[in-house]
Amino acid sequence: MEINNVPLLALDKVSFAYPRRPAVLDQVNFSLYQGERVALIGDNGAGKTTLLHLLVGLKKPLVGQVIAFGTARDSEKSFVDVRAQAGFLFQDPDDQLFCPTVLEDVMFGPLNLGFSRIEAKLRAEQVLHQLGLEHFACRITHQLSGGEKRMISLASVLAMTPKVLLLDEPTNALDTAARQRLIDTLKGLPQAMLIVSHDHDFLAQISTRSVVLTSGKLSDSDYKSATELTEKTEKVA
């Protein structure tokens, strides 16, 4: 795999802590390159979701720098275009879906990027078809199951054609068929990905490399199978 030497997203000696709590990230360095699908693993509460939030400016580092698409980002305004290019799949779909119908939810991102309603509708319909979800278009979003909402959330992210995907527990609440559809879809996408998941078999099928976050530190963790990934996670915990 050929990798451009300029990262799409990077953290440079970033530290972060919540009020009256120890640091969850301590001088962390990280780079995500074109063509990579990186698994971010670690215990619950290790700071994995926090790291994703920092990359798109939802949280601000106490120390260090976030670099996105070749530019240092240090203000809310500087992250506006980052969020258009880095598609974030939230852990809870209810944080992402708020329109009356599925089609409107998937159209929302393209409309926000300036596409016409006709263009946004066409893009939304194409993505729903790609994910095998076209029959959900007219469904009322809040009436869907958790797994269905998860897949619609992914559709809403993909409709924006981002350069990078940040996926926070993407297999949560998915049944076997939906999980396999997700795996097949992600394998066929060109975007670089940073994936947080406790589904080690899923990560073993999807990711090209892995990093482990423990005690505020990030380290590389190469693996060849779901079993080996589990063993390595237990060793660093």
State residue 10's pLDDT score.
Answer: 97
pLDDT at 224 over 80: no
Q: How far apart are CA 108 and CA 94, in angstroms?
A: 15
Convert the pLDDT of each residue in 20-71 to its tens digit: 888 999 999 999 999 999 999 999 999 999 999 999 999 999 999 999 999 9
Size (the chain), residues: 237
State residue 2's pLDDT score.
Answer: 44
Q: Cα(first)–Cα(last) distance of the chain, in Å? A: 30
User: Are the C-beta atoms of residues 32 and 2 closer than 8 Å to each other?
Assistant: no
Q: CATH number of the domain that 219 lies in? A: 3.40.50.300
State residue 225's pLDDT score.
Answer: 42
State residue 228's pLDDT score.
Answer: 54
pLDDT at 6 over 60: yes
pLDDT band at 220 (very low <50, low <70, confident <90, very high): confident
State residue 34's pLDDT score.
Answer: 96
Q: How far apart are CA 40 and CA 48, in angstroms?
A: 7
123-133 mean pLDDT: 94
State residue 128's pLDDT score.
Answer: 95
Residue 57 CB contacts under 8 Å (≥ 6 apart), including other chains: 66, 73, 76, 78, 79, 82, 83
220, part of any domain:
yes
H or E segment and range at residue 86:
strand 86-89
Domain that residue 206 falls in: 9-236
pLDDT band at 106 (very low <50, low <70, confident <90, very high): very high
How many structural domains comprise the chain? 1
pLDDT band at 207 (very low <50, low <70, confident <90, very high): very high
For the record, the structure tokens of 69 come out as 């698409």
Helix, coil or strand: residue 218 = strand
95-105 mean pLDDT: 95
State residue 127's pLDDT score.
Answer: 95
State residue 5's pLDDT score.
Answer: 81
3, part of any domain:
no
pLDDT at 1 over 60: no
Helix, coil or strand: residue 59 = coil
State residue 226's pLDDT score.
Answer: 42
DSSP string, 162-211: -SEEEEESTTTT--HHHHHHHHHHHHT--SEEEEE-S-HHHHHHH-SEEE
Buried b (16+ CB within 10 A) or exposed e, 166-202: bbbbbbbebeeebbebbbebbeeeebbbbbbbbbbbb
Give the closest residue to 28 by CA, choosing from 19, 17, 18, 36: 17
pLDDT band at 133 (very low <50, low <70, confident <90, very high): very high
